[in-house]
């Protein structure tokens, strides 16, 4: 039965039965779980409609007829030449030698922090978005090795009867592990520019003038406008604020980024969030397009 964990939550799948066969490739399943771990943020969109992407989160796996709610409740190892999975079934190991179905469960909601109007959100939440059999592409946010994409199909919508998410509506997405791909972020086209900007550290208490010298959909590179002393004090993984001054345009852009590379006079930041209505919010697909389109209009961009 679909149900796993210390409280034995269960879900019914309208009599769906598993059949025999070789099962899914275990190596692909291991990579899938690394790219889409439980609790990770994702973005999803219907077939070839990436402009309609919405954010969500993976709340559980459905493995054959069992639910897994934490990464600690699933392990994999080699049993001779066979790759097997061990699921925690009420403190006992449940051995799964063949996986015929691997699902991701996501909440049946839309993040209210965006700018979508209420009628638009209702429209996106209607049955066609999660109709049974509807194909959705999932993107993981984010992965150190690239940007994982995977194709899924809506298996069903349901309200959990018990367990950790009792009484909450969820969507069960059947994955196609063979479609898992990682897009190299370095393939994104870098555009060169020269835009005065300001880095801020420690909540804006310390600032450093700089120049934005190139950007892509996920990264920006800035050059220090002083002797580089401030850059030497920064470290990889540090989150900084960046204010991009659009002196010939009606506004400026404020973003947050994580330092991924530090050179003598340059910093490369991975974009994390953008200022909207006075608050920092994670980049949505629309924000990415707007950010890129705005900087493309600057006279120094080429």
Strand ranges for 114-252 from DSSP E: 135-141, 147-159, 169-175, 181-183, 191-201, 206-215, 219-224, 239-244
**215 has pLDDT over 60:** yes
pLDDT at 17: 39
- Higher-confidence residue of 116 and 275: namely 275
- Token pair belonging to 52: 């309609």
Average of pLDDT values for 3-10?
A: 37
pLDDT-wise least confident of 78-82, 235-239, 240-244, 294-298: 78-82
**69 has pLDDT over 90:** yes
**103 has pLDDT over 90:** yes
How many angstroms separate the CA atoms of 296 and 19, rounded? 53
How deeply is 274 buried, as exposed, middle or buried, from its count of CB atoms within 10 A (0-12, 13-18, 19+)? Answer: buried
What are the pLDDT digits (tens) for 14-58?
333 344 557 899 989 999 999 999 998 888 888 766 666 778 899
CB–CB of 268/219 below 8 Å?
A: yes
**123 has pLDDT over 80:** no
Q: Which domains does the chain have, with CATH numbers?
A: 26-183 (2.40.30), 187-296 (2.40.10.220)
Strand ranges for the chain from DSSP E: 41-46, 54-57, 60-63, 66-68, 74-79, 82-89, 92-96, 102-107, 135-141, 147-159, 169-175, 181-183, 191-201, 206-215, 219-224, 239-244, 253-262, 266-276, 279-282
**131 has pLDDT over 90:** no
Mean pLDDT score of the chain: 80
How many angstroms separate the CA atoms of 137 and 128, rounded? 15
CB–CB of 73/5 below 8 Å?
A: yes
- 3-state DSSP: the chain helix, strand, coil percent, rounded to 5? 15, 45, 40
How many angstroms separate the CA atoms of 293 and 286, rounded? 10
How many angstroms separate the CA atoms of 76 and 198, rounded? 47
pTM exceeds 0.85, yes or no: no
CB–CB of 110/54 below 8 Å?
A: yes
pLDDT at 147: 80
Name the DSSP class of 11. B
């Amino acid at each position: 039965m679909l149900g796993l964990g210390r409280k034995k939550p269960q879900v019914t799948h309208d009599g769906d039965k598993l059949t025999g066969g070789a099962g899914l490739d275990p190596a692909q399943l291991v990579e899938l779980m690394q790219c889409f771990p439980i609790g990770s943020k994702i973005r999803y969109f219907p077939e070839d409609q990436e402009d309609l992407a919405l954010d969500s989160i993976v709340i559980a796996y459905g493995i054959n007829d069992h639910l897994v709610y934490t990464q600690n409740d699933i392990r994999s190892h080699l049993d001779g030449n066979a790759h097997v999975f061990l699921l925690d079934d009420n403190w006992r190991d449940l051995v799964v030698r063949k996986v015929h179905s691997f699902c991701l469960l996501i909440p049946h909601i839309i993040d209210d922090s965006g700018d979508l109007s209420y009628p638009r959100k209702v429209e996106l939440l209607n049955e066609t978005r999660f109709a049974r059999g509807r194909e959705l592409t999932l993107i993981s946010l984010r992965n150190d090795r690239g940007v994982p994409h995977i194709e899924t199909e809506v298996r069903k919508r349901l309200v959990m009867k018990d367990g950790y998410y009792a009484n909450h509506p969820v969507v069960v997405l059947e994955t196609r592990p063979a479609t898992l791909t990682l897009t190299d972020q370095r393939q994104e086209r870098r555009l060169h520019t020269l835009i005065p900007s300001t880095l801020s550290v420690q909540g804006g208490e310390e600032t450093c003038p700089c120049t934005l010298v190139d950007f892509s959909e996920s990264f920006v590179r800035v050059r220090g406008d002083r002797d580089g002393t401030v850059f030497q004090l920064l470290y990889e993984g540090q989150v900084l604020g960046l204010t991009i001054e659009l002196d010939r345009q009606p506004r400026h852009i404020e973003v947050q980024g994580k330092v991924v590379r530090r050179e003598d006079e340059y910093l490369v930041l991975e974009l994390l969030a953008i200022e909207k209505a006075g608050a920092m919010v994670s980049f949505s697909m629309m924000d990415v397009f707007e950010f890129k389109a705005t900087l493309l209009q600057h006279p120094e961009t080429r």
